[in-house]
Structure 1
Amino acid sequence: MPFHTSSPIQPIVIDGGRVIDPAHSMDRIARLLIVDGHIAAIDPSNGDVPGDAHWIDARERVVTPGLVDLGAELRQPGREEDETIQTGSDAALAGGYTSVLCCSNTNPVIDSAAAVELVTQIAQRVGGVRVYPIACLSKSREAEQMAELAILAEAGAIGFSDSPRPMPNDALLKRALDYCRMFDLPIFDRPEVPGLAEGGVMHDGQVSLVLGLKGLPTEAEDLAVARDVRVAEATKGRLHIGPVSTMGAIDMIGRVKSRGIAVSASVCPHNLHGSDALLRSFDARFKVHPPMRSPAHVESLQQAVADGTIDAIQSGHMPRAGEKKGNDLDESPFGAATLETTFAAVVTDMIRTDILSWTRAIECLSTNPAKIAKLPAGTLGIGAPADVAIINPESSWTVRASEFMSRCQSTPMENRELFGRVTHTIVGGRLLFVCVEESAIVA
Structure 2
Amino acid sequence: MTIWIKNAIILTKKEDYQPIELLINGEQIQAIGSDLTPLIQDTDEVIDARGALVAPGLIDVHVHLREPGFSHKETIKTGTMAAARGGFTTVCAMPNVQPEPDTAEKMQTLQAKIARDAVVKVKQYAPITMGLRSETLTNQKELLEAGAFAFTNDGVGVQTAGTMYLAMKEAAKNNTIIVAHTEDDSLLFGGVMHEGTRNQTLGMPGILNVAEASQIARDVLLSEATGAHYHICHVSTKESVRVIRDAKRAGIHVTAEVSPHHLLLTEDDIPNDTSIYKMNPPLRGKEDRQALLDGLLDGTIDIIATDHAPHSKEEKAGGMMDSPFGIVGSETAFSLLYTHLVEKGIVSLTQLIEWMAYKPARLFNLDGGTIAVGQKADLAFFDLSTPKEIVAKDFHSLATNTPFIGWRVKGTTTMTFVDGKLVYQEGSVQ
TM-score tier after normalising by the smaller chain length: over 0.9
User: Is contact 2:4-2:43 (8 Å) kept?
Assistant: no
Residue 344, structure 1, aligned to residue 335, structure 2: yes
- Offset at 1:218? 0.4
Cα distance in 2 for residues equivalent to 1:147 and 1:346: 37
- Offset at 1:120? 1.9
For residues 197-216 of structure 1, the aligned pairs below 5 Å read 197-216=188-207
Instruction: For residues 279-329 of structure 1, give each alpha carbon's deviation from its aligned partner in whole angstroms, at most 9, with x where no partner exists.
Output: 232121110121111112112212221222111110111111111111222
User: Is contact 1:203-1:276 (8 Å) kept?
Assistant: yes
2:49 to 35, 40, 58: 58
User: Is contact 1:67-1:378 (8 Å) kept?
Assistant: yes
1:30 to 16, 20, 36: 20
- Offset at 1:75? 0.7
2:388 to 397, 420, 428: 397
- Offset at 1:413? 0.8
Letter paired with 1:55: V
For residues 5-404 of structure 1, the aligned pairs below 5 Å read 10-20=1-11, 28-43=18-33, 45-404=36-395
Instruction: For residues 122-151 of structure 1, give each alpha carbon's deviation from its aligned partner in whole angstroms, at most 9, with x where no partner exists.
Output: 222125111111000001111101111111
- Offset at 1:33? 1.9
User: Is contact 2:92-2:125 (8 Å) kept?
Assistant: yes
- Offset at 1:28? 4.5
1:408 to 395, 399, 415: 399
User: Is contact 1:77-1:107 (8 Å) kept?
Assistant: yes
Deviates most, 298-307 or 324-333: 298-307
Paired residue secondary structure (2:351): helix
Paired residue secondary structure (2:308): coil
TM-score scaled to structure 1, two decimals?
Answer: 0.93
User: Is contact 1:97-1:129 (8 Å) kept?
Assistant: yes
Cα distance in 2 for residues equivalent to 1:260 and 1:376: 26
- Offset at 1:119? 2.3
Cα distance in 2 for residues equivalent to 1:341 and 1:59: 21
User: Is contact 1:265-1:312 (8 Å) kept?
Assistant: yes
Letter paired with 1:318: A
Partner of 1:442: 429
Paired residue secondary structure (1:98): strand
Deviates most, 266-275 or 303-312: 303-312
User: Is contact 1:15-1:31 (8 Å) kept?
Assistant: yes
Letter paired with 1:39: I
User: Is contact 1:270-1:412 (8 Å) kept?
Assistant: no
- Unaligned residue ranges in structure 1 (runs of 5+): 1-9
Cα distance in 1 for residues equivalent to 2:30 and 2:47: 16
Cα distance in 2 for residues equivalent to 1:313 and 1:280: 26
> Structure 1 residues 53 and 189 mapped into 2: Cα distance closer, same or farther (>3 Å)?
same
TM-score scaled to structure 2, two decimals?
Answer: 0.96
Deviates most, 48-57 or 29-38: 48-57
- Pairwise CA RMSD: 1.8
Cα distance in 1 for residues equivalent to 2:393 and 2:327: 13
Instruction: For residues 7-49 of structure 1, give each alpha carbon's deviation from its aligned partner in whole angstroms, at most 9, with x where no partner exists.
Output: xxx2223334232488xx9974432222120122221732223
Cα distance in 2 for residues equivalent to 1:235 and 1:174: 7
User: Is contact 1:21-1:379 (8 Å) kept?
Assistant: no
Paired residue secondary structure (1:188): strand
Deviates most, 150-159 or 197-206: 197-206
Paired residue secondary structure (1:209): helix
Q: How many residue pairs get matched?
A: 429
- Unaligned residue ranges in structure 2 (runs of 5+): none
- Offset at 1:229? 1.4
Paired residue secondary structure (2:71): coil
Paired residue secondary structure (1:232): helix
Letter paired with 1:105: N
